[in-house]
Structure 1
Amino acid sequence: MTIPGSELEVHETETPVEDDDAVVKVAGRSPTQLAIARFRADKLSMISFVLSVLIILAAILAPFLVAFGVLHPNDLHQELLSDDGVAPEGRFGGVSWDHPFGVDPGTGRDLLSRLMLAITSSLSIALTGTILTVIIGAVLGIVAGFSGGFVDAVVGRIIDLTLSFPQTMMLLALAGPVVLMLRRDVSDFPGLGFLAGADLSNGLFVIAILAVFGWPPVARVVRGQVLSIREREFIEAARLLGASRPRLYFKEVLPNVWAPVLVYVTLLVPAYISAEAAFNFLGVGIKPPTPTLGNILADSVSYTSADPTYFFLPGALLALIVVVFNLVGDGARDALDPKSHR
């Protein structure tokens, strides 16, 4: 542009103009999404979670692999044993392409097949016992914490009474009569006679012991949470709207105590797997030939000198499962409660 009466020229240049309509979008995240993000940021917890999923998948697939003839847990291979008929031939318990984990001493059964089925049995007992424990503990904890007064006092005394019983002594004392009763009662139902074997009866007894003596800590944790929740505004609003007690318990209170319950579930599973193994050492639990991690480990003690691998592999697998599930529980606790410190 030329200014009249001067020699100066001003040249206009076009500069880019930012779009005034551009808006930075900020998306809010729920507490669940924040917890998941914190859990995913913990590499150790994520590795443990992936391993736990693989363990659960192995437990689910093992019975189907046996049914389709992929796994052969009960086939005897006496030709793979040494001349004394006890120790497997070859190194590391008879490890080969056909038997990657070797074979059992004395029988020659494939150890990999038996360990996979053992995971199924042990996880079934642990998960069933955990579910029953959490249901009993959560229901009684909610009722006691929400009701207060006489109901709270009664539930508290039941908790104290349950904790006062020595679990190991009760386990050994009740094993014989309770297992026989379960076996007889199951056989009384038409069409369920095939379930009346020792495996089911012993398994149900172990689950019952775990649930009966395991629910008090859950009830105490839930009761403590409910005591702080029952006075909040949304509970008062639900009461004014005429909500029934069951609705208050399970629609209003329960969704607000799921975080500690979830953490407790992840910690109960490895504890119950270890307990099942300990019960087998005491002579209580599912008996061979049905494999569990407990009875395989108990049987391997007799062959520690003849075949150390037979003792090491079940023990290492049991330790791996317990550590993995414990790490998942620690990660879930840290994700749901950012103020906690590992």
Structure 2
Amino acid sequence: MTHGDEVKMTIPGSELEIHETDAPVEDDSVVSVAGRSPTQLAIARFRADKLSMISFTVTVFIVLCAIAAPILVATGVLHPNEFHQELLSDDGVAPAGRFGGISWDHPFGVDPASGRDLLARLMLAITSSLTIAISGTILTVIIGSVLGIVAGFSGGFVDAVIGRIIDLTLSFPQTLMLLALSGPVVLMFRTQIADFAPLSFFESADLSNGFYVILILAIFGWPPVARVVRGQVLSIREREFIEAARLLGASRRRLYFKEVLPNVWAPVLVYVTLLVPAYISAEAAFNFLGVGIKPPTPTLGNILGDSVSYTSADPMYFFLPGALLALIVVVFNLVGDGARDALDPKSHR
């Protein structure tokens, strides 16, 4: 048979004929369809949401500012602790000029009583606050995911014990424990990490206070993560691929981290995007209570706490950090909402 020849097949007892030819098909209506993985479908749904993409772009910009701030301080581009008394008014408190001393040299103005550049301090404050929030989120997710997987997969006595630990943790008053343990725990951290302070742009006192806030956030933040992961594991542990892995002799560690964990990352990822803004707000609240990184190292919390004393003399000093904190919290929450909708197509905003 040569190229382009036609082959005719007739099915006995039927008038149906099948014509097969090896000639090239030149039909423009034939469209090739490529399969896409669930991850690719989720990314496509996320990119189709304009509000989520705008929030994601702003979030990336904020993170880049947080990364660049200590580099710019180390290279002398930013001067967050440089005093400019000449930029203050005659009373030595309020910044000279309108809107808190905003100028080309100081786009966000200067802070009262010292004349330090507010833009430089806010950029470094984003670094401090995001470092605490992201570190606390990572520790929270690690503790909650491990205990949630163990509880959901093991069941029985182990599940009951972890459940009681969750109830006990949630019953503790977080604010009271935060204030009661701050003194001895911070002092212990300070003696342990004093040798590592030169490796960071934080002082040893700032590191110890920061570690304490991260520890408190993780200790009281992991139970909801554990409950979410446990609920997912309860439905996963009875599936065929888990039974196949058991029959092949997979160890508990492999079952936990190779078989179960990759199938619960979606809700954990959504929870991460919601924990970061919550922890940024918590860090700001802790500074109002006197716990956290202290000035002169700036955080969004201690700048806001300091601005309360100057609301009448310099309203912009209160408005700009508050607006920045609100913006960070909103865009992170919107990214979390977009991730949830993209990963769960049945959900509707």
2:207 matched to which residue of 1? 200
- Give the CA deviation at 1:340: 1.3
Inter-CA distance 193–328: structure 2 relative to 1 (3 Å threshold): closer
Corresponding residue for residue 76 of structure 1: 83
* Cα displacement string for residues 192-222 of structure 1 (whole angstroms, at most 9, x for unaligned residues): 3647721001000000000000000000000
Pairwise mapping of residues 110-125 of structure 1 onto structure 2 (< 5 A)? Answer: 110-125=117-132
Moved more, 322-331 or 169-178: 169-178
| Aligned: 1:103 with 2:107 | no
Please say if residues 190 and 208 of structure 2, whose CA atoms lie closer than 8 Å, have aligned partners that are also in contact: yes
2:25 to 16, 20, 26: 20
TM-score (normalised: structure 2) = 0.90
Choose the corresponding residue for 1:147, options 151, 154, 177. Answer: 154
Structure-1 residue corresponding to 2:280: 273
Q: The residue matched to 2:278 in structure 1 has which SS?
A: helix
- In the alignment, the residues of structure 1 paired with residue 92 and residue 264 of structure 2 have an alpha-carbon distance, to the nearest angstrom, of 57
Q: How many Å separate the matches in 2 of 1:128 and 1:48?
A: 22
Runs of 5+ consecutive residues of structure 2 not aligned to the other structure: 1-22
Instruction: Name the structure 2 match of 1:45.
Output: 52
Change (3 A) 1:311 1:193: closer
CA 1:65 to 1:246, structure 2 compared with 1: closer, same or farther past 3 Å? same
Q: What is the total number of aligned residue pairs between the two structures?
A: 322
Q: Aligned equivalents of 1:186 and 1:112: distance in 2? A: 30
Q: Which residue in the other structure is 2:266 paired with?
A: 259
For 1:340 and 1:172, how far apart are their aligned partners in 2? 40
- Percent same amino acid at aligned positions? 85
Instruction: Give the corresponding residue for 1:11.
Output: none
Map of 2:141 onto structure 1: 134
Structure 2 residue matching 1:91: 3-state secondary structure: coil
Map 1:178-217 → 2, pairs under 5 A: 178-187=185-194, 191-192=195-196, 194=198, 197-217=204-224
| Matched residue type, 2:113 | G
Query: In 1, distance between residues paired with 2:230 and 2:315?
Result: 48
Deviations 1:222-250 (A, max 9, x none): 00000000000000000000000000000
**One-letter amino acid matched to 1:117:** L
How many Å separate the matches in 1 of 2:101 and 2:241?
65
Alpha-carbon contact 2:274-2:333 (below 8 Å) kept: yes
Q: Which amino acid aligns with 2:196?
A: L
Structure 1 match to 2:39: 32
Aligned counterparts, 1:161-240, within 5 A: 161-187=168-194, 191-192=195-196, 194=198, 197-240=204-247
| Amino acid corresponding to residue 182 of structure 1 in structure 2 | F
Unaligned runs of 5+ residues in structure 1 are: 1-17
Aligned pair in 2 of structure 1 residues 55, 275: CA closer, same or farther (>3 Å)?
same
Q: Distance in 2 between matches of 1:62 and 1:95?
A: 20
- Kept in 1, the 8 Å contact 2:197–2:207? The answer is no
Structure 2 Cα separation of the partners of residues 284 and 99 of structure 1: 30
Q: C-alpha separation between the residues in 1 aligned to 2:305 and 2:77?
A: 26
Q: Which residue identity is paired with 2:273?
A: T
User: What RMSD, in angstroms, separates the aligned Cα atoms of the two structures?
Assistant: 1.3
> Which amino acid is the alignment partner of residue 97 of structure 2?
G
Residue 142 of structure 2 aligns to which amino acid in structure 1? I
Letter matched to residue 192 of structure 1: F
Q: Which residue of 2 aligns with 1:94?
A: 101
| Cα-to-partner distance string for 1:283-334 (whole Å, 9 max, x where unaligned) | 1000000000000000000000000000000000000000000000000000
- TM-score, reference length from structure 1: 0.92
Deviation at 1:341, TM superposition (A): 2.0
